Amino acid sequence: RWGVNEAIKQTALHIAEQGYRVLIPDLYRGRVAVERMEAIGLSSDLNWTRGIDDVVKAVEYLRKTGSKKVAIIGFCQGGGMALCGAQFARVDAALPFYGIPSNFTGCNPRLIPQSVPVQAHFGTNDTAFPVATRVMPLVDSMKAAGVDIKLYLYDGLPHAFFNAITPAGRLLMSGGSPGFKFPNETLVTLAFSRVTNFLRLHIRH
CATH number (domain holding residue 177): 3.40.50.1820
The pLDDT of residue 105: 80
In a domain, 193, yes or no: yes
**Half-sphere CA count of 55, side-chain side, radius 13 A:** 26
In a domain, 1, yes or no: no
In a domain, 102, yes or no: yes
Tell me the average pLDDT of the chain: 93
CA-based R_g, the chain, Å: 16
Which pTM was predicted?
0.94
For residues 27 and 190, the model is more confident at: 190
Tell me the pLDDT tens digit for each residue of 162-198: 999 999 999 988 887 888 889 999 999 999 999 999 9
Total domains, the chain: 1
In Å, how far from its chain's centre is CA 113? 18
In a domain, 173, yes or no: yes
Strands 118-123 and 71-75: unpaired
> Stretch 150-155: mean pLDDT, rounded?
99
In a domain, 194, yes or no: yes
> Stretch 80-97: mean pLDDT, rounded?
97
Domain residues for the domain of 152 are 6-202
